[in-house]
Amino acid sequence: MAKQTLLQQSQSIYLMGAEGDLYEEICAILNQIEGTLFGNGPRLVMEQAQNAEIFMVSAETESEALNFLEALRSSLVLGLRPLILVTPNDLQGISFPYYDLALTLPLSDYELKRALKGLRPIQERLQQYPPLYDSYAEMACREINLLRFILSRQLSEVIPERDETSPVGYSLPWADHLLGVERGLGLIEMDRLATAGLLLTQEEDVVNLCPQCNDYRINFRQVCPHCGSPQIKRVKTIQHFTCAHTAPETSFIHNYEYICPKCGKKLKHIGVDYAKPGEVVVCARCGQVAPEAEVSCLSLKCGYIFPPHQAKQVVINRYRLSRLAEQAAIQGLHSGATLADVLHSFLNIYAYPFFEKYLQLEVKRSLRYRSPFSLIRLAIRNLSNIEETYGLEGKMTLIKELQEILGTYLRTTDLVSFSPHNEILILLVEADETRAETIVQRLLKRSQKVLDAPFDFKYHIVCVPHQAQDFSHLQKLLTQGE
């Protein structure tokens, strides 16, 4: 019993780090505890790393730590694994949840054991998530990984950090890695997930970007409205009462006296001869005078000059998982999931290549023994509308209900598969067209009665041998009418 408990507590560890004193110290402590070392060194050896439940990163410096963290978090396979960072001192530039736990020297076996124990809840949550469908594109997997990361770390809110290396001035580095995008661009991906209803947002800041290169590094400066030069000077103006001439003070100054440049008279007393009514800007390049300078933007990255109203404004959001996202994370659902993917998770359905082979055999058998069978091709034409109206979760519920209805009317000898066109294929053994028609009608009637939202079904029945005499004929009839 005691041994079993020990075994249960043992966690497999992969240690990443370059050789050195710190690395040696961690190795020594790892040897004393129950954890099993699955691999170690400065490089990721995938075969070993895949089997490790926990990653430990040993880093002497911040940049070394960042390199290791990036390698792990950006891995499609390893990105979600719990991670302990061990450094000689506290690192200011790296924070949770980039790592899950941080340890500093001196390190004790007690401390390490406690850290490993602390990661158990994350491990347990991760174990509940089913593997992702093979049909998902890499980005779909990465998006679900991001949701799973937030959920497994129980991050109630995710707030982007100021980041001068990000083109939008903010970033979530760990999210960038999980999503496999460049620095800062994870926020744009996350806004897409927000549009899809997976993330809830709250405005945090607005950043001005260059409309040409989408970079935040913009110099806002005052320029001459005539020639755009930043070489401008703000000067006081003088108004000569007698001739009403108003011009910059500089044009009145002659040998420490004010002489009106228009009428040539000397100005003696302020308030009597002249007034200083305001200020103007004088351009040192074109010499023009203007009442006000203009604000102009210079992209420090690409050099583009534009007025402020042309700056591209992006909202920086803080994020929370929506209820739909929690569902998607736990079930591994993505809107990229096909009907086949979804039904596969509920039903024991045959892959199409196998189904096709079986169908060929069934055609031969049917012809030899003159016993009929029917093939139903069932399409749900409004599946994408259903998702728009009821959301991914609603669609899943409906498909699950449909699966139950299918189960009611089909026999265990009947086969279900999906055509490459994503239609449901049902092979009814020893059923002629009349029987197939009866089954479809019952199925549709039942669906209409039970389902909250109406599926728009379209079906087609082919019976062998009455309508199709061989396999190619059957295939032809099946693809007709599309």
Least distance in Å: CB of 255 to Zn ion?
Answer: 17
**Is residue 320 a contact point for Zn ion (CB under 5 A)?**
no
**Is residue 312 a contact point for Zn ion (CB under 5 A)?**
no
Residue choice 139, 181, 200, 286 for contact with Zn ion (CB under 5 A): 286
Residue choice 227, 253, 270, 295 for contact with Zn ion (CB under 5 A): 227
Nearer to Zn ion, 309 or 370 (CB): 309
Residue choice 113, 183, 217, 226 for contact with Zn ion (CB under 5 A): 226
Least distance in Å: CB of 189 to Zn ion?
Answer: 22
- Interface mask toward Zn ion for 250-279; x: CB under 5 A: ----------x-xx----------------
Terminus-to-terminus CA distance in the chain, angstroms?
Answer: 64
As given in the structure block, the two tokens for residue 139 are: 């980005």
Residue choice 283, 311, 383, 431 for contact with Zn ion (CB under 5 A): 283
> Which residues, 6 or more positions from 47, have their beta carbon under 8 angstroms from its beta carbon?
none
Least distance in Å: CB of 256 to Zn ion?
Answer: 18
**284 Rama class: left (phi>0) / alpha (psi -120 to 50) / beta:** alpha
- Sheet strands (E) in 242-399: 246-248, 253-254, 257-259, 266-267, 274-275, 279-283, 289-290, 294-299, 305-306, 312-321, 373-380
Residue choice 113, 120, 183, 245 for contact with Zn ion (CB under 5 A): 245
Nearer to Zn ion, 311 or 468 (CB): 311
Least distance in Å: CB of 158 to Zn ion?
Answer: 28
Least distance in Å: CB of 111 to Zn ion?
Answer: 49
As given in the structure block, the two tokens for residue 18 are: 């370059």
As given in the structure block, the two tokens for residue 129 are: 């998530």
* DSSP letters for 164-222: TTSTTSEE-HHHHHHHT--TTTHHHHHHHHHHTTSEEEEEEEEEEE-TTT--S-EEEEE
As given in the structure block, the two tokens for residue 220 are: 């806002």
**Is residue 284 a contact point for Zn ion (CB under 5 A)?**
no
Which residue has tokens 């049902």? Answer: 426
**Is residue 210 a contact point for Zn ion (CB under 5 A)?**
yes
- Closest alpha carbon to 464 in 362, 337, 320: 362
Nearer to Zn ion, 50 or 214 (CB): 214
- Which residues contribute to the site for Zn ion (CB under 5 A)? 210, 212-213, 224, 226-227, 229, 240, 243, 245, 260, 262-263, 283, 285-286, 299, 301-302, 304
